[in-house]
Amino acid sequence: MSVKGLLNVARTFLFLALETFVRPRWAYYRTRAFYYRYYKNRFHKNRVAEYQSNIEAIDAAIALITNSTAEEVAEFGRSEILEKMRVHEEWVVAISDEDSDGDNEGPIEFFYGPSPQLMRAVHIVCRLLKPEVVIETGVAKGFTSAAMLDALERNGMGELYSIEMPSLYIGYTRQVGEKIPQSLRTRWHLELGPSAIVLPRLLKKLGSVDVFLYDSASSYDNQLGDLCTILASMRPGGVLISNLLITDAFIEATESFSCKWIAVEQTKPTPIGLIAKLD
């Protein structure tokens, strides 16, 4: 490991130790996510091949999961915000310079950004379903938030509740959501904290959810927990989109509920998953 890498690890441990005193529950979920990401996930990858057995191209998958026609999907896919995305290699790095406040510097790395396929999925699903309540976990600079807020604005209805537990980097919280254009922020509600704590509290207040995006920790246990919590409160006909199909969490979550699912290839190493809640 390089000197820079070692310094990063040392700084993370120091901040984590401090957080244990200030916000012990955040520190607990953060430590748990590290434990799964670097050790425990490997024991929960027995069924990842099943994702490849039910895989579709992005537009076809959206049509299947929302019971829409190819024409409807294509029409909502011709959206200005999707055209304004600038893509660096396979990741989205900017909506467009004039629309967003942020630059590409700072602690939030650009590789945290979503793929163009994920942007397309969240935007088109929100256009097709005309949801009242949309929730996402994992905000970072806010690319997916902007894509969904743009859809809600065009629908003329709906609110987006975004949950983010900022990483332990100085200046991270300040950058959260910075790519969301000011004009789209009236329907946006940001909650800071671990999704395992914030989601149940939010669902108690909102009652049910129509569209959900999981784009946060790559930990089996956190993903399974969030997906099951959401599916239990999702209205029939609602759609769940999950990035990071790197463990069995997604397929296990689908088995506890009446739903259909499909995986989508993206320009990132692991697929995206889509779930339609049936009843």
Ligand X SMILES: C[S@@+](CC[C@H](N)C(=O)[O-])C[C@H]1O[C@@H](n2cnc3c(N)ncnc32)[C@H](O)[C@@H]1O
Binding site for ligand X (CB under 6 A): 29, 33, 112-114, 137-144, 163-167, 194-195, 215-217, 222
Closer by beta carbon to ligand X, 123 or else 277: 123
Contact 158, 187 (CB under 8 A): yes
Per DSSP bridges, beta strands 209-214 and 234-242 are parallel
Q: How far is the CB of 69 from ligand X (least distance, A)?
A: 28
Q: How far is the CB of 213 from ligand X (least distance, A)?
A: 7
Q: How far is CA 184 from the centre of its chain?
A: 18
Name residue 137's beta-bridge partners. 163, 214
Helix, strand, coil abundance in the chain, percent, nearest 5? 50, 20, 30
Closer by beta carbon to ligand X, 63 or else 199: 199
The CA radius of gyration of the chain, in Å to the nearest whole number, is 18
Contact 90, 267 (CB under 8 A): yes
Place of tokens 């011709």: 78
Q: How far is the CB of 74 from ligand X (least distance, A)?
A: 23
Question: How far apart (Å, rounded) are the C-alpha atoms in residues 209 and 232?
Answer: 10
Q: What tokens does 274 get?
A: 């889509």
Nearest to 47 by CA among 238, 200, 249: 249
Q: How far is the CB of 167 from ligand X (least distance, A)?
A: 5
Q: How far is the CB of 137 from ligand X (least distance, A)?
A: 5
Closer by beta carbon to ligand X, 25 or else 260: 25
Closer by beta carbon to ligand X, 129 or else 272: 272
Residue 58 parent element (H or E) = helix 58-66
Closer by beta carbon to ligand X, 143 or else 261: 143
Q: How far is the CB of 232 from ligand X (least distance, A)?
A: 18
Cβ atoms within 10 Å, residue 116: 18
Cβ atoms within 10 Å, residue 31: 13
Closer by beta carbon to ligand X, 120 or else 141: 141
Closer by beta carbon to ligand X, 44 or else 141: 141
